[in-house]
Structure 1
């Protein structure tokens, strides 16, 4: 008996030690080593508390790794860890949304739609989920389904530039070019800095033969982003289709100067040089691009063609050149552009929302924000004019307690897109938090002019007006908030404070007593 007691006692000590070691790794953000320890504990299949806790923390560690992989756009790895997080903790239902995105971005469209469909059953009016469903339907070639979802969202939310943009992509895929152009224009009207919408609009215009309009849009993008080689290449392609070969060559030279390994641009440049009889220039560029792609079959074909032109200059080889250039012709490339699968970019604000609910502590949310911040900063360096990224940065900075920096991030997002209401609402709340109530009021009034039924905005504006001692206006906005959402406890409390300030204490006592401070967790 003593032998068995010692044996099981020793095993219990090992399990406790491994669990504590796992927690130590977990707290130091060394999640992979933490997982190893927790899995060892679970492998012993004991009935101890450590076994149950190991399963919980193993799930959390997989989730955290999945988030970092997701933020880095490493979707296959993210999918592996999210699936394991749900395996060890089936209550991680919020991960289904991100699993759906990973499946879409790895080409598993049918599986992706299954996840988003289940989420729709739980919350039929969730706009981010509906938008992702529409994108997956588009990738499946089910354009009518995608179009119906986009139009349904826009019925109630006509000011969502992103939805107009994705509707345009859907219509482009369905070859409804004029309708697609209208959608891209609406997105641009709402956000004049929406470069992706302007680029797709120019593609639709080129496909409809509206070359001047296409060129003007592409040239506007080029003036803002002179090193955007893909835009320069499209300009060259439009110029070539207009039979302006000399200008096409000049634009292509710009593109390959920016990106020396730009194979498609080089091939078009070489073939245009061949067609215009500039064989020496063609050979020069062929030599330069072959350095990057020494075993490319098309480059080898070009090499043989140039040799043949030198040997038999009297022969008309234009037909051979045109045949080689077939894949670079404008209409062919535009059709390819129509049917590109749409990836769903990481939305860092959505990621962090997972940790802001009641299931997770503020410390957990702040901790994950610190993990995610470097990835957002990296995305901003690559895409400095994306308002979504600035808004996401502000959200993370708030969770890290960096309110002034968050204000700057939200302000930049609003400058980039004045009608980006989510960022403006975040700026409103942050300005109020930072004590800048006059500025906050301006942004609050801007949002309310849109006549959207956002109870939290009315509540925040009521708080701003209260801080500015405009009690009657504050009361009116607070009551409007309750008309939309009667169970907002913080608003009832604010009204009580307003009545007290207005020397109407009896009326103030009619409001429910909900404690001394607002919870600041209203949705």
Structure 2
């Protein structure tokens, strides 16, 4: 097993110190391998040293300007610091460099949502779901985005698929309740709010939704 593979294995085990050593060895063995710099950056980001992580990602890009994963990783760091416009640029760069993954589309879609560009976010979230049909969170965010764009029937389909994948997703049940309330199906809305509260009894929004429905019954 080469040092990069060994480091990834340590990362998967949560052994950051050994992972860092393995990636450091990989860089020493091959200083022009961008993958080792990206991997080392991912370790640094995982332990909270984002500033240093970005330097490693940038070094990977200096070595190979088409290192798409480096742009993606920079985007994640920027997103985590609420630098959404900059994150958007990084995710777009990752796509231009060929990173055609569900995660890239998902993160670009989420970033556009944060920038209040819901209509632009829709196709990216849709593509994310197409590339990974079993990602419950992608389904949820796509459903939310559809609902925000008043595509309620389509939103319900995605939210229902989300709870098929993750039956304990209380926020998906809550948003299904809101969607059914919007369609004036009070019985279904109440059932969804109750389900959200069964899973998460302190779900304030679901509790409020339930109260409103019961007052109008």
User: Which residue does the alignment assign to 1:191?
Assistant: 98
Q: Deviations over 1:424-458 (max 9, x none)?
A: xxxxxxxxxxxxxxxxxxxxxxxxxxxxxxxxxxx
Q: Tell me, what secondary structure is at the counterpart of 1:107?
A: coil
1:32-431 mapped onto 2 (5 Å cutoff): 97-191=4-98, 193-222=100-129, 230-241=137-148, 244=150, 247-248=151-152, 250-257=154-161, 259-262=163-166, 263-264=168-169, 265-273=172-180, 278-285=185-192, 296-298=199-201, 313=215
Distance in 2 separating the partners of 1:216 and 1:210? 12
Kept in 1: contact 2:125–2:142 (CA 8 A): yes
Shift of the 138–251 alpha-carbon distance from structure 1 to 2, 3 Å rule, reads: same
Shift of the 249–301 alpha-carbon distance from structure 1 to 2, 3 Å rule, reads: farther
Q: Tell me, what secondary structure is at the counterpart of 1:136?
A: helix
> Deviation at 1:190?
2.6
Q: Tell me, what secondary structure is at the counterpart of 2:164?
A: coil
Q: How many residues are matched?
A: 214
Distance in 2 separating the partners of 1:168 and 1:181? 7
TM-score by length of 2: 0.74
5+ residue gaps, structure 2: none
Distance in 2 separating the partners of 1:282 and 1:299? 18
Q: Tell me, what secondary structure is at the counterpart of 1:209?
A: coil
Question: Who wins on radius of gyration, i.e. which is larger?
Answer: 1
> Deviation at 1:214?
0.9
Query: Over the residues paired in the alignment, what is the CA RMSD in angstroms?
Result: 3.7
1:453-468 mapped onto 2 (5 Å cutoff): none
Higher RCO (CA 8 Å, separation ≥ 6 residues): 2
Kept in 1: contact 2:146–2:152 (CA 8 A): yes
> Deviation at 1:143?
1.4
> Deviation at 1:133?
0.3
Shift of the 299–266 alpha-carbon distance from structure 1 to 2, 3 Å rule, reads: farther
Q: Tell me, what secondary structure is at the counterpart of 1:260?
A: helix
> Deviation at 1:280?
0.9
Q: Tell me, what secondary structure is at the counterpart of 1:125?
A: coil
> Deviation at 1:224?
6.4
Q: Tell me, what secondary structure is at the counterpart of 1:298?
A: coil
> Deviation at 1:301?
8.1
Distance in 2 separating the partners of 1:118 and 1:223? 38
Distance in 2 separating the partners of 1:111 and 1:270? 47
Distance in 1 separating the partners of 2:25 and 2:133? 44
Shift of the 250–123 alpha-carbon distance from structure 1 to 2, 3 Å rule, reads: closer
Distance in 2 separating the partners of 1:303 and 1:191? 41
